[in-house]
Structure 1
């Protein structure tokens, strides 16, 4: 998950990460033994209930929001803040615009119904609560 704060995952990439995570957890937890002595693989819901922790998508989105709060609290002359606030100059290429990091953060914040996120980011305790809510909101199969 190194550098996951900067990822902009598409739905296809999210599904690939979830499949890989479930495959690894399934191997770690092992199969379920039936009453007749045979074995079966665990279902995704069973794996989620046994692990009882946010999945990789919840962790990734929480890391991204934590970094976003840090960027918002930065001084205006910092390079990261200038890159976030900067606008592209020149002509835009033909076609659909690329999915940007700021767009991904905006989608995450709207899914959490965080309307006053600019004020929340200035208060570290409030922002920490929002990040933990993101971990649980995005970190389950049933959201």
Structure 2
């Protein structure tokens, strides 16, 4: 029996789903902090200067935004202040079985 079959029979979410939920939870924690705090500045920081060749690397924030889009969340700033709705989003992300 493969892991995916085992998880489906038991109704368990995949590890990747849990990690996505953790990323979304951390984003909410950061966004509810004051903008004067260092963590907020670091999250929004974009490095300047000449980059390396090739495609641009994904930032952590880009990955979380993709996770939220997959869940149908377009405006994270609206949801993040409503802690109950944000928790529902985190739980949905953690328990989602990926195909």
Which residue does the alignment assign to 2:72? 113
User: Which segments of 5 or more consecutive residues in structure 1 lack a partner in the other structure?
Assistant: 1-41
User: Which segments of 5 or more consecutive residues in structure 2 lack a partner in the other structure?
Assistant: none
TM-score, structure 2 normalization: 0.88
What is the CA distance between 1:103 and its match in structure 2?
1.1
Q: Deviations over 1:21-53 (max 9, x none)?
A: xxxxxxxxxxxxxxxxxxxxx244431134322
Which residue does the alignment assign to 2:85? 126
Q: Which residue among 37, 48, 51 is the counterpart of 1:92?
A: 51
Between Structure 1 and Structure 2, whose CA radius of gyration is higher? Answer: 1
Task: Please report the RMSD computed on the Cα atoms of aligned residues, expressed in angstroms.
Answer: 1.6
SS of 2:67's partner is: helix
| Equivalences, count | 99
TM-score, structure 1 normalization: 0.63
Highest RCO, 1 vs 2 (Cα 8 Å, sep ≥ 6): 2
CA distance in 1, matches of 2:31, 2:41: 11
Moved over 6 A (4+): none
Which residue does the alignment assign to 1:66? 25
